[in-house]
Amino acid sequence: MSVAACAELVRRGDPDRFLAVMAAPPEARVQLFPLYAFNLEVARAPWVAQEPMIAEMRLQWWRDVVENASSGAARAHEVAGPLHDLIRDFGLPVDVLDALIAARRWDITREPHAGIEGLTAYLDDTGGGLMWLAGRALGAPDAAEHSLRAFGWAAAAASYLQAVPELEARGRQPLPHGTSAEELARLALVKLATARQARPLVPKEIAPAFLAGWQTKSLLRQVIATGRCDVRLSEFQRRWRLLWQATTGRW
- Would you say 77 and 65 are in contact if contact means Cβ atoms under 8 Å apart? yes
Share of the chain above pLDDT 70, in %: 97
Q: What is the largest CA-CA distance in the chain?
A: 51
* CA–CA gap between residue 8 and residue 195 (Å, rounded): 30
Q: What is the pLDDT of residue 75?
A: 61
Q: For position 2, what pLDDT does the model report?
A: 83
pLDDT of residue 37: 97
The answer, yes or no, to whether residue 72 has pLDDT greater than 70, is no
Provide the residue type at 210 as one letter. F
pLDDT tens-digit series, residues 129-177: 999 999 999 999 999 999 999 999 999 999 999 999 999 999 999 999 9
Q: What confidence tens digit (pLDDT) does each residue in 166-222 have?
A: 999 999 999 999 999 999 999 999 999 999 998 888 888 999 999 999 999 999 999
118 burial via Cβ count (<10 Å: 0-12, 13-18, 19+): middle
**pTM score of the predicted model:** 0.95
- The span from the CA of 96 to the CA of 128, in Å, is 10
Q: How far apart are CA 26 and CA 99, in angstroms?
A: 29
Q: Give the lowest-confidence range in 1-5, 106-110, 227-231.
A: 1-5
